[in-house]
C-alpha cells in the first residue's frame, strides 16, 4: 500500500472506495450474488494506490458494460473487474483533462467505537500468532486501540501507521514462504491475468501482480489486512 497515495489525494480515497466499486460492478453485471475474485480485489487496491478517483472507476465500469451490452453477440458474461480496466483508465484520463473535481470530503463510514473494535480484533488475532514479529504488531495495535478517539481525529496518520505494519507483515510472510509456494502463487496469477494482459500497460500489470501476490502471501500466512479500507469487509 503506497504512502504516496495519501497526502493531497487523501480525501478522494475515502473509506467507501472498495465497497462502492464492488456494488457498482455487481449492479452493472446484474447479479447480486457475484463474488469478486482475488484478482479483482488486487485491481481495486491498485487503483486506490495510484489515486484513481472513485468517480473515474465507477464511470469506467458503466462504460465497459455499455460497450458490452451494445454488442450484437455476447458469447460470454463479464466475470472479472479486469474487463473494465481500459475504460477505467480512459475515464480517469478524461477526468484529468476536464480538470480535477474537488476532493470528495466524506465522513468515514464508521464510528470511533467501530474503529476501536476493528483495531482490537486485529490486535487479538495477531497476538495469537506464534511468530514474535506478528505478536509485536498486535501489541502495537492494542496500543492504538486504547487511544482510538485520538486516532479517529487523524485517520490519515493512522492509516500510515497501519501501512507500515502491513509492510512488515508482508516482508516477514515473504521470508517464511517456500519457493514452491511463491511459484504456485505466480502460476495462479498468470492464469487469471492471461485474458487481460493486452488490455493493461506494463506498469499497471506490474502493480497488479504485486498486489495479487501480496494478498496471497497474507492469506497463506493466515493474516488479516490492517488498512482502514478493509473495515467491514
Quick one: cell of 197?
A: 494482459
Residue 127, classified by CB atoms within 10 Å of its CB into exposed (0-12), middle (13-18) or buried (19+), is middle
Judged by DSSP in three states, 202 sits in helix
Where exactly are the structural domains of the chain?
3-97, 112-230
What is the four-CA torsion angle of 13, 2, 44, 70, rounded to 10 degrees? 90
Residue pair 123/115 in contact (Cβ under 8 Å)? The answer is: no
pLDDT at 186 over 60: yes
CA proximity to 170, closest of 1, 40, 4: 1
Using alpha carbons, select from 88, 57, 58 the residue that is nearest to residue 196.
88
Q: Give the least confident one: 147-151, 174-178, 192-196, 204-208.
A: 192-196
Give me the pLDDT at residue 121, please. Answer: 97
Percent share of the chain, pLDDT over 90: 33
Question: Can you give the pLDDT at residue 14?
Answer: 60
| 155 has a pLDDT exceeding 50 | yes
In this prediction, residues 4-20 reach a mean pLDDT of: 59
Q: How far apart are CA 94 and CA 100, in angstroms?
A: 10
Q: Would you say residue 134 has pLDDT above 50? A: yes
Average pLDDT score, the chain? 83
Digit-coded pLDDT (tens) for 48-101 = 888 888 899 999 999 999 988 887 666 677 888 888 998 999 999 998 887 555
Is residue 108 within 8 Å of residue 155, measured between CB atoms? yes
Specify the long-range contacts of residues 96-105, CB closer than 8 Å, at least 24 apart.
100/53, 101/53, 101/55, 103/9, 103/10, 103/11, 103/12, 104/11, 104/12, 104/14, 104/54, 104/55, 105/11, 105/14
Q: Is 107 helix (H, G, I), strand (E, B) or coil?
A: coil
Measuring CA to CA, how many Å separate 118 from each of 64, 132, 141, 189, 199? 35, 21, 10, 30, 37
Are 133 and 140 spatial neighbours (Cβ–Cβ below 8 Å)?
no
Task: State the Cα–Cα distance between residues 82 and 56, nearest whole angstrom.
Answer: 15
CA distances from 44 to 8, 53, 140, 151, 216 (A): 20, 11, 28, 25, 15
Amino acid at each position: 500500500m503506497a504512502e504516496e497515495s495519501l497526502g493531497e489525494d487523501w480525501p478522494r480515497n475515502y473509506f467507501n472506495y472498495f465497497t462502492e466499486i464492488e456494488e457498482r460492478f455487481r449492479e452493472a453485471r446484474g447479479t447480486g450474488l457475484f463474488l469478486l475474485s482475488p484478482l479483482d480485489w488486487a485491481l481495486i487496491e491498485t487503483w486506490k494506490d495510484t489515486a484513481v478517483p472513485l468517480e473515474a472507476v465507477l464511470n469506467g465500469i458503466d462504460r465497459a458494460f455499455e460497450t458490452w451490452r451494445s454488442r450484437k453477440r455476447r458469447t460470454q458474461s463479464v466475470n472479472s473487474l479486469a474487463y473494465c480496466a481500459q475504460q477505467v483508465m480512459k475515464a480517469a484520463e478524461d477526468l484529468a483533462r476536464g480538470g480535477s473535481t474537488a476532493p470528495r470530503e466524506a465522513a468515514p463510514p464508521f464510528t470511533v467505537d467501530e474503529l476501536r473494535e476493528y483495531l482490537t480484533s486485529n490486535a487479538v488475532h495477531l497476538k495469537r500468532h506464534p511468530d514474535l514479529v506478528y505478536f509485536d504488531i498486535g501489541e502495537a495495535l492494542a496500543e492504538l486501540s486504547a487511544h482510538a478517539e485520538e486516532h479517529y481525529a487523524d485517520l490519515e496518520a493512522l492509516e500510515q501507521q497501519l501501512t507500515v505494519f502491513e509492510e512488515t507483515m508482508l516482508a516477514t510472510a515473504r521470508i517464511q514462504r517456500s519457493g514452491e509456494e511463491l511459484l504456485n502463487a505466480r502460476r495462479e496469477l498468470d492464469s487469471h491475468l492471461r485474458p487481460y494482459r493486452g488490455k493493461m500497460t506494463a506498469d499497471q500489470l506490474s502493480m497488479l501482480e504485486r498486489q495479487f501476490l501480496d494478498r496471497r502471501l497474507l492469506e497463506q500466512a493466515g493474516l488479516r489486512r490492517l488498512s482502514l479500507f478493509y473495515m467491514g469487509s
